Amino acid sequence: MTPAPALAARFLSAWQALGGEFEYHANPTAARLGLLAYLGGLNTRALLAWPPQELCLPGLAEALAAAGYTLVQPERRHLDPDLSAGLTAADAGLAETGSLVLAQALTRSWLPALIPIRHIILLPQSRLHADLRAWRQAWQQEGRAQALCHSLIITGPSFSDDIELHPHRGMFGPRHLHLVLFDDG
């Protein structure tokens, strides 16, 4: 088993190679403050987001509300096109590829991860796994094997080429991925 700091370094190296941005924090409180500082640099006050209880950062909803931010729950037929940032948590990080795993649930929509131009992801360090096989084994041992079938794996920002093979980011998903990785141990 790879020690947590080495696993985090491996993951972040792969994440950066894909074009992802990140910030690392030593604890959940620092992560919450770091996220607020990051949001302060954006021109938005509303975030398309998962419900607060799904965001894995204690006190986040209250801190966001106190700072004047609104968490907007996705509704398929009534999406506000002006929402430029989405906020979710990741259920796993795969160090080998720098990929993130988001499991679908009744209270979670993938829309905050797919629709806005900027996707902000919260990831506790305890959710890092060496690779796809290690993640699968861990979830099977936890009795979450069924969730494997309903998971979205994100490997970097949206990237595609046009008909003339000119590369473009953000054509079919977020152009910017900002990860908030924090030590939760």
Bigger pLDDT: 22 or 148? 22
Domains of the chain (ranges plus CATH)?
4-159+168-182 (3.40.50.10420)
Instruction: Catalogue the E-assigned strands of 38-150.
Output: 46-49, 70-72, 85-89, 92-94, 99-103, 118-124, 128-129
Q: DSSP for 101-125?
A: EEE-BTTB-SHHHHSSSEEEEEEEG
Q: Does residue 159 contact residue 168 with C-beta atoms inside 8 Å?
A: yes
Q: What is the pLDDT of residues 139-165, one digit of tens each?
A: 889 887 777 778 899 998 876 777 888
Q: Which pLDDT score is estimated for 68?
A: 97
Q: What is the pLDDT of residues 63-90, one digit of tens each?
A: 999 999 999 998 877 778 778 999 999 9
Cα–chain center distance at 170: 16
pLDDT at 123 over 90: yes
3-class secondary structure, 140: helix
